[in-house]
Chain A
């Protein structure tokens, strides 16, 4: 737990909130400090102005009636007892007059003002028991001719107290802001860390080999939700790839086991002593045929891997697709006829596309191989090359065989996928994967759809395999 807490204090979220809390506290301190300085200054300036007026008034008296007029004024002003003004007239001999008992030795500031603490008698009068209180006075010392010194001051204790209370409040508020910020930081980062922890947990479990868990989402679209989404998408992709790899591995093992077992049995049979020479020779020949089949599968796997990895730097050139289609039509027509199929080709001349003749021919050959293999006698195979309405170049091969059910059409282009009814036929289950890979290399599209077959005719719906490619850009010059 202690470790958890320490880890939590190290989190970016906590540090961020702490930093912003500190910044907030500091800025509120600065703002309130400014308010404080302004108000404190205002209080002092007001006191100074009031005292200044009083000094002027006394100066007028002095000019008019000399020192006696001043004495009289002070007496008048102080006789009532309670006043905020404080006076002290000091005779050169030391005698004093006024409501202050003595003048402490205080250095005046640059404006000639003095500020000190004096002890004011309790409000109820000198006889009362209540304690005297220390209060702050601010004023001015005036040197009068003939050796008199006059202090005139104003009690600013209440204001000063207010200001200092204000200062305390400011400090407390800043401290509170800081504390609140830290608390908010802890709260926010706890939540953040808890959500991150969940994602981390998922990653840990996946690393341990379990591909099932997914990061929780709250669908708010915030950063963490987005992270979770991307993370989950990545896991889906990884899972699909793993699945495909496992499936490919299993399929390779499965597909190779059959011919290998067959080959082993044949060789075993050939070794038996009672077999005559002819049987042995036959067995060996079949074993060689099996080996060729295996090599064929390996070659297909290799070409496919290279195409899919994009390693094959196909030699893509500008070519007329009609040449490719015509060559293949010529290659496959006799095959179809031998198998009792009607073969037709409709080839639009004069188109241009960018492609690799070898690869395109191979893709078409794979499709034609399938058409020939699956279409029953009496059926028809058509090879067509045309420009589609969308301005694409389309090679299509249609047959009147059993077709491929809708649900399986996406599946058959995956590696090693063979539909149940084709298991008995020779083949690796790689042919259409190769077609797909070749289409991808050419930025083309490979699609399977229903063919022109007549279901009631006993054949099946047929299959239409279409390879679409973009046209070549017009030639320069």
Chain B
């Protein structure tokens, strides 16, 4: 993937860049909004990682300008402001996801990869398949190896998210945000408990595990 990092803090930028490169991506860096705008116009990036507060042109203005030019490249906004209103503002400006500083690199990587996936042509998928696990989004039915698995509504949404991002690392925070719509981190391991419930339904009766724990990062559903 080709990723553009627009961030005025050089150290933070080089940290993200190094991490993305190590994960096998190509990462460029622009140090303010104007430079970022030029670079985004000049080349075709898969994802833009944009810091919100920058000199010259701030991140929101840059994203708004790009959106005004019909540029639909997915944007992850980085910000030190984490309140609900700030988040809403960021998403309104055209950001696709919002990550509050300070963050763990694994979190950033997981989100960037999730965003790139979203860029795939928006075909209306009615069926998700990971290995022998199948999900029918219309009939709300889950079948593994020909056997129907009964899930609670929330378990269904959890599995749906994991399947849509199969092969990718999904963090606990991402799950809380996307499946539960909570933007805070409970102290107890609520997500782990829900994952283990799901795991006992979709993995336990079967010889091969699909839902893997990625240490220090989160989970990955992979055939």
Contact = CB atoms under 8 A, between A and B. Distances in A.
A327 B190 contact: no
Interface size bracket, A side: 35 or more
A248 interface: no
Interface string B53-89: 0000000000000000000000000000011110010
B125 to A, nearest CB: 26
B208 interface: no
Nearest to A289: B216
Contacts, number: 71
A288 interface: yes
A427 B180 contact: no
Nearest to B187: A369
B183 A426 contact: no
Contact of A315 (B88, B102, B186): B88
Interface string A277-298: 0000000010011001001101
A315 B84 contact: yes
Contacts of B193: 334-335, 338
A213 interface: no
B102 A285 contact: no
Interface of chain B, main secondary structure? loop
Given A312-B83, A335-B193, A365-B182, A295 B187 contact: no
Given A288-B104, A373-B188, A356 B84 contact: yes
Interface size bracket, B side: 20 to 34
B178 to A, nearest CB: 14
A362 interface: yes
B108 to A, nearest CB: 14
B184 A332 contact: no
A303 interface: yes
B92 interface: no
Interface in A277-331: 285, 288-289, 292, 295-296, 298-299, 302-303, 306, 312-315, 327, 330-331
A362 B184 contact: yes
A418 to B, nearest CB: 13
Interface in A357-414: 358-359, 361-362, 365-366, 368-369, 372-373
Nearest to B80: A302
Given A292-B104, A306-B83, A315-B85, A358 B184 contact: yes
Interface of B: 82-85, 88, 100, 102, 104, 152, 154, 180, 182-190, 193-194, 196-197, 215-216
Interface of A: 285, 288-289, 292, 295-296, 298-299, 302-303, 306, 312-315, 327, 330-332, 334-335, 338, 356, 358-359, 361-362, 365-366, 368-369, 372-373, 426-427, 431
Given A338-B196, A431-B187, 12 more contacts: A285-B215, A285-B216, A289-B216, A302-B82, A313-B83, A330-B154, A331-B186, A335-B188, A358-B182, A362-B182, A365-B182, A368-B188
